[in-house]
Structure formats: C-alpha cells, structure tokens
Structure 1
Amino acid sequence: MTTNHDAGSAHADLAEYVARWVELFNARDRAALDGLYEADAVVVPRPGYPVTGAERAAALADFMGLGVPMKAALRQAYIANDIALLVIEWSLTGTGPDGREIDMGGTATDVARRGADGQWRYVIDNPSGVAT
C-alpha cells in the first residue's frame, strides 16, 4: 500500500517517476537515467558512502553493470510542496554477465524535488535505506 499525505496528482507522478527510473535502468540508458537526477544529487551506493558528480555516475554504472533486471515499487510517498520522501521496495534477481547468481534488494529511502518544469528529480538516492 502506498501512503500519500498530499493526495493529488503528485503521488501518481512519483509512482510514474519510479517506474521510469526502473525502465531506464533496465535499458542500461545511463544518459537518460542521469536526467532523472539533479546536477548535484547524491547517491549512496553502500551505507555511509555518499557520492556525487562523476562518482555518482560511476556508482550507477556499476549498479547497472550487474546485468540483471530491477524491479521496484513505490511503497510510501510523503510530499511537502515540491519535496518528496520516497520509500521504495526494490530487487535485483538473475544471473549476471559473469554467470554468478545475483539476489539483492532492499527498502530505499530517497528524496526527490519537483523542478520548475514540473518534473521530479532525485536529490538523494539511498537504495540501502536505513541498513548499515
């Protein structure tokens, strides 16, 4: 179930945003995926190690390089004006390019901001959520 404290079209937009992120990730479209982030956005590829800029792009490329499809669903969205806290359940399951089985997943806690153009973009992408 998804919770939304701003019961308008913003919640549906955020669910579509998450679905679009997954679509681009699975298509391995790094350039388009990067467009779903603010220029100075932070990605936390592993707990306690936030990265931005070129390191952010490299972390996302490494994640895509696992070569297995992602599934993700928006579980909760809390919206205050143009800022949203997203709680997302995700998983990566399959056989990687090296033949190794991959089975990982978690509950992401992410922050997105709606720009002047009406589009949501990640400010913080934290796939591990509160995991340490």
Structure 2
Amino acid sequence: MSTTAAHTPVADPHEHTAGFATAFNSGDPDAVVATMAPEAVFVRAPGDPVTGADARQAVADFLALGLPMQIADRHVYVADDTALVIADWLVEGDGPDGTPLRLEGSSTDVLRRGADGLWRSIIDNPHGTTAA
C-alpha cells in the first residue's frame, strides 16, 4: 500500500474526517485504506460489514463512481484511545453512465489510536443508523 503524507493516519482524531476526505477525493482505494486499521470493518450496506480484501474492494467500488465527497464532522467524542465520529457526507454529480447521482448520509465511525500515536478507523459505517 503506497501513501503520501496527505493520506496517512492523523495524530488528532478531530482531523480524521478531513484526512479521509482527502484520501477519498484522490480516487485511490489504497489512500482510503491507509486511514483504516488493518482489521477495520467497513459497512458497505446496512447490515453488511466486510473486512480485509472485501473492505478494500467495497471502497474501490464506491470510488469507481468517480465523484468527490463533501464531508464534515457533526460530533467527535474521545475517550482515551477510542473516538466516535459522526459526520455528514454528500457524494453528488453525474455517475459513470452520465445519470445524475446524489448519495448522502450521516456516518458513524469508530477510531482507535495506535501504538504509533496515530488514529485510524476500526469501524467505518457510512450508513450510520440507517435501518437494514
């Protein structure tokens, strides 16, 4: 996995969302995966969590839309080495087939500070509390 400084985990959990947006908007699945812990869970649809290669593929599939993401924290709660981030996001534009597309939601993400002092997501749930 290759990363640049813009796509590495952050030292402050309040900066994670901005770093994630930079990674997402780069269009590089490895950049997004670099913001996640190796054992992270990505929820590709409500009730459908995936890990490992399946998580990377789910990220790649989302990025294949070719549209930028706007995202902003609503809340960041930190307790020791764990943080809960609630963020509102929007992906909007013309999809790969030219059809207008608008996806939005409020994500619920759990971050953990690693031994290196950097924060990575361990649960990335873009669907938040959306029912299954």
Question: What's the TM-score bracket when you normalise by the shorter of the two chains?
Answer: 0.7 to 0.9
| Deviation per residue, 1:11-51 (Å, 9 max, x gap) | x9223221111111111122222111111100001100000
Q: State the identity %.
A: 46
1:6 is aligned to: none
Q: Does structure 1 residue 46 correspond to structure 2 residue 50?
A: no
Tell me if structure 2 keeps the 8 A contact 1:68–1:102: no
Instruction: Give TM-score, length-normalised by structure 2.
Output: 0.87
Structure 2: give runs of 5+ residues left out of the alignment: 1-10
- Number of residue pairs the alignment of both structures matches: 121
Tell me if structure 1 keeps the 8 A contact 2:90–2:105: yes
Q: How far off its partner does 1:118 sit?
A: 1.4
Deviates more, 1:53-62 or 1:93-102: 93-102
- The letter for the 1-side match of 2:28 is D
Structure 1: give runs of 5+ residues left out of the alignment: 1-11
- The letter for the 1-side match of 2:61 is D
- The letter for the 1-side match of 2:97 is D
Tell me if structure 2 keeps the 8 A contact 1:110–1:125: yes
Deviates more, 1:14-23 or 1:112-121: 14-23
Residues in 2 aligned to 1:97 and 1:124: alpha-carbon distance in whole angstroms = 28
Q: How far off its partner does 1:97 sit?
A: 2.0
Tell me if structure 1 keeps the 8 A contact 2:43–2:124: yes
Q: Does structure 1 residue 125 correspond to structure 2 residue 115?
A: no
Instruction: Give TM-score, length-normalised by structure 1.
Output: 0.87
Alignment of 1:84-95 (within 5 A): 84-95=83-94
1:115 is aligned to: 114
Q: How far off its partner does 1:109 sit?
A: 0.6
Residues in 2 aligned to 1:34 and 1:58: alpha-carbon distance in whole angstroms = 10
2:65 is aligned to: 66
What's the C-alpha RMSD, in Å, of the aligned pairs?
1.2
| Deviation per residue, 1:44-82 (Å, 9 max, x gap) | 011000000111000000110111110001110111101
- The letter for the 2-side match of 1:116 is A
Residues in 1 aligned to 2:36 and 2:92: alpha-carbon distance in whole angstroms = 25
